[in-house]
Chains A and B, each alone.
Chain A
C-alpha cells in the first residue's frame, strides 16, 4: 500500500483546502446558513484528514486492528448531522423572530 503513502500529501492538501474554504466561509459569510455550511466544510476537511492517516497506518503496519481514525471520522459525521439539526433549528428560530439570518444583526450579546 505504498501508493497511499506517496499520495498522502495530496490528501492532506485537499483536506487543508477544504478546511480553509470552510474557515473562510465561516468567517466571512454574512448569512447564518453560509456560516453553517463553512463549519460543515471544516468538519469534513478534518474527517478526511483522520481517514487519510488511518489509511496510511493500514499500509505501514501489517495486521493492524487500529480503527480510531475511521471511528473518529464516523463520530464527526454524526456530530455534523446533529449540528445540522440544531443549527438549522436555531436559524429557523432566529429568522422567526427577526426576519433575517444575517449573523451581524444578531448581536444582542455585545458589551
Chain B
C-alpha cells in the first residue's frame, strides 16, 4: 500500500516532467503542438494526487505519514561520515498540497489551450505555443517535486528549477523589453532570497548532517541546536531566519516584493500559476515545513511583522491600480502577507488553510481576468472596461464568487480562512499586548481587500462601457476557458472546507463546523511548545465571536464603500483621491520608493561603485600583477629555457653529440672502407699478427 503511494507520488512528478521533455524535443511536430500532452500529463498527476488524498482521507489522523528514503550519496565507505539521503514524504500537508497544485495546474493548462490560442501553429512565432506548454509542465513538475520531497535538499533543487521557470514564463513575450526586464527582475530578486535559504540550509546541514524533515524535527526535540551559535546568534535563529529569507524572496514579502507586480508581464495563465499553485505557495510551504525551527529559534515575531507589513502596504497599493492584473498581483502580495502573518503568530494550520483557499480563488480570479483580457483583445486597463457583465456572464459569475471569497463574505472559503487568521492575530495580541499593531494591519487589510476587489468588479463589469469598439467585439470565452473558472468558483464555497454552508463555523449558532483542513494539519510535534500553541488556540477561540463580527463589519464596510464610489458613483473617486495627503499619493505612485531605493541606492550607490572598485581591482591587481606578472615570469622562464635549448640541447647535444661527433668518427672510419680488397686483407693480417703478438695481454 505504502509502496503504491510512493510510486504514485513519483508518478505525479514524472508525468509532467516527461511531458516537458517530449514537448521540448518533438512538441512542434505533434498534433495541436502537443498542448494535450502537457494537459493530459498534469491531469494524470491530478488523478494520482486524488488517489493519495483519498488514502489520507480514509486514514484521517494528524500523524499520518508515508515516507521512503533512498541514499543518494554515501561517503562512509571512504571513512567520511557524510551521507545524503533523499526521499518522498506524504503526509497531510503534502497530500493536500498535491491535490491543490495538480488541480489548479490542470485547470490552468486547460485554460491556456484557449488563452494562448493566438500563438498556436505559427512557426514564425518560434513555436512558442509548444514551449509555453513545456515550461508550464516543467514549472508544475518542479512544484510537485518540491511538495513530495522529504528533505530540504531536493526541495531546494525544485525551488531553483521553479526560479528558472518563472524567469522563462514571465519573460515569455521576450520581444517586449518590459517583459524581458520583469523576468530578469523576478529571477534576480528571488536569488537574493535564495541566498538566505542556501546559507540557512548549509548551516543546518553543518550541525545536523542531514537535510531530512524528520531529522530536523528530531534534532530540535533532542536539542541538537541548543548550544550552537553562528556569528553571534543562536544557530536555530540563523537557520530559521535564512530559510525565512528564502520565503521572503519566493513569496514576495516585504522588502523583496518588487518582482511580483512586474511578473504580470507574463501571460495571464502564468500569473495564475505563479500566484496560486506554484511559486508563491512554495514559499509558504517552506515556512510550514521549517515552522518548528522558526518557533524554536524565535524568528516568529519577525515573520509576523513582515507578513503584517506586506499585507497592509500591498493592499494600499492595490487600491490605486488600474491594470486589472496589477490589482490582483497586489492582492496576492497582501494575501500572502496574511499567510505569513498567520504563521508568524503561530497559527500554523490556519496559514496553511488560507494557502489552499487562496490558491483556489486566486487561480480563478486570475483566469477570469485573463478571460476578460482575452475578450477585450488584450486590453488590461480597467478604465477602458465596464459593463461587461452582460457580455461575459459566466466569467462575471465566477469572478464575483471568487471576489466574495477573497473579500471575506460569509459562506465563501476566504471568509473561513481569513476569519481564522484574524481571530488568531487578535488572540496573539491578547497574549502579547505589545503586538497590537498586527491586529490593526490585519483588520485594515480585510477592509481594504473588500474595497479594492469590489472596485475591480464594479469598474470591469458594472456601469457603462468606456471603449465601445472593444466592448462590441467582446463575447463569452469558449468552454475550455470558462470551465476552469467554474470548477474553481465552485471550490470557493465555504462548505468545501468546513462543512458548514455559511462558514460561520462556531458551535453556538450554526452547529459544529467540520474544518477538516485544520484537523488534518497540526504542526510537526516539537516538545516544549505545546503550551504556547494551546494558549494561542484558547485565546483565538476566546475572541472568535468578536473577530467574526468585526471581520464581517469591515468587509461589509469595504464593499459598501466600494459600491458608493465605483458602483453607484455617489461619491466621486477623484474627490476622494484629493483627500489623500500628497506625500502618501506620491509614495503610492512610486510603490513606496522600493524600486527607486533598490535602483538608485542599492544598485547605483552600493553595487555599481562596488563593482567599479572590483573592476579597478581586477584591472590593477588581477590583470596587471597577477596575469601580466605571471606572463612576465613565464616569458623570462621561456627565454632562459630558449637559451638553454639553443646552447645545450641544440649546440651540445644535437649538433655536438648528434652531428659533429659522428661526422668525425665517420670521416675517420670511412678511410678504412676504401673498397680496396688488399687493404682489407692487410688490416686482417696486421690484426691477426697483433693478436698473436699480444695474445697474453688480450
Q: Contacting chain A: which of B544-552, B642-650, B671-679?
A: B671-679
Task: Mark interface residues in B662-674 (1 if CB within 8 Å of A CB, else 0).
Answer: 0000000110111
Give min CB distance, A18 to chain B, whole Å. 16
Q: Is the CB of A27 within 8 A of B681?
A: yes
B675-692 contacts to A, CB under 8 A, are 675-678, 681-682, 685
B682 with A107: CB separation less than 8 A: no
Q: Is the CB of A110 within 8 A of B678?
A: no
Question: Interface code A19-40, partner B: CB below 8 Å = 1, 0 otherwise?
Answer: 0000100111000000100000
CA distance A58 to B674 in the complex (A): 48
Question: From residue A50, how far is it (CB to closest CB) to chain B in Å?
Answer: 19
In the complex, what distance in Å separates the CA atom of A27 from the CA atom of B684?
11
- Using Cβ atoms and an 8 Å threshold, which residues of chain B touch A110? 670, 673-676
Given A109-B673, A110-B673, A111-B670: A103 and B685 interface contact (C-beta under 8 Å): no
A103 — nearest CB in chain B belongs to which residue?
B677
Tell me the chain A residues, 95-111 only, with Cβ under 8 Å from chain B.
103-104, 106-111
Residues of A within 8 A of B675 (CB): 106-111
Nearest B residue (CB) for A30:
B678
Q: Please report the C-alpha to C-alpha distance between residue A104 and residue B330 in the assembled complex, in whole angstroms.
A: 116
B128-166 interface mask toward A, CB cutoff 8 Å, 1 = contact, 0 = none?
000000000000000000000000000000000000000
B676 and A111 contacting across the interface, CB-CB below 8 Å: no
A105 to chain B, nearest CB (A): 9
Task: Report the minimal beta-carbon distance from A23 to chain B, rounded to whole angstroms.
Answer: 7
Q: A27 — which chain B residues lie within 8 A by C-beta?
A: 678, 681-682, 685
B-facing residues in A14-72 (Cβ within 8 Å): 23, 26-28, 35
- For A111, give the chain B residue with the smallest CB separation: B673
The distance from the CB of B676 to the nearest CB of chain A, in whole angstroms, is 5
Inter-chain contact B685/A107, CB cutoff 8 Å: no
Which residues from B are CB-within-8-Å of A28?
A: 678
The residue in chain A whose Cβ has the minimal distance to the Cβ of B680 is A109
- How far, in Å, is A39 (CB) from chain B's closest CB? 9
Among the listed B669, B672, B678, which residue makes an inter-chain contact with A103, where contact means beta carbons less than 8 Å apart?
Answer: B678
Set B669, B676, B681: member contacting A107, Cβ < 8 A: B676
- Of residues B669, B672, B673, B675, which shows the largest number of chain A Cβ atoms within 10 Å of its Cβ? B675
Question: Nearest Cβ distance between residue A19 and chain B, in whole angstroms?
Answer: 11
CB neighbours of B676 from chain A (8 A): 103-104, 107, 110
Task: Find out whether the CB atom of B678 lies under 8 angstroms from the CB atom of A35.
Answer: yes
User: Chain B contacts of A107 at CB under 8 A?
Assistant: 674-676
| Cα distance, A108 to B675, chains bound together (Å) | 6
Closest to B671 in A: A111
Q: A94 → chain B, closest Cβ, in Å?
A: 11
| B residues near A104, Cβ cutoff 8 Å | 676, 678
A97 to chain B, nearest CB (A): 15
Residues of B within 8 A of A103 (CB): 676-678
Q: Give the docked Cα–Cα distance between A23 and B677 (Å).
A: 13
**Cβ–Cβ contact B678 & A26, under 8 A:** yes
Give Cα distance in the complex from A35 to B680, angstroms.
13
Q: With the chains together, A7 CA to B677 CA distance in Å? A: 37
What residue in chain B is nearest A108 (Cβ atoms)? B675
| CB-defined contacts of B673 to chain A, threshold 8 Å | 109-111
Chain A minimum-CB-distance residue to B682:
A27
**Which of B674, B681, B682, B685 is the one whose CB lies under 8 Å from A111?**
B674
Question: A23 — which chain B residues lie within 8 A by C-beta?
Answer: 685
Across-interface contacts of B682 in A (CB, < 8 A): 27
A16 to chain B, nearest CB (A): 14
Chain B residues with CB below 8 A from A109, complex form: 673, 675
A66-105 with Cβ < 8 A to chain B: 103-104
Residues of B contacting A35 in the complex (Cβ-Cβ under 8 angstroms): 677-678
Q: How far is the CA of A108 from the CA of B670 in the complex (A)?
A: 13
Q: How far is the CA of A103 from the CA of B672 in the complex (A)?
A: 16
Some 23 contacts from A to B, beta carbons below 8 A apart, are A23-B685, A27-B678, A27-B681, A27-B685, A35-B677, A35-B678, A103-B676, A104-B676, A104-B678, A106-B675, A106-B677, A107-B674, A107-B675, A107-B676, A108-B675, A109-B673, A109-B675, A110-B670, A110-B673, A110-B674, A110-B675, A110-B676, A111-B674
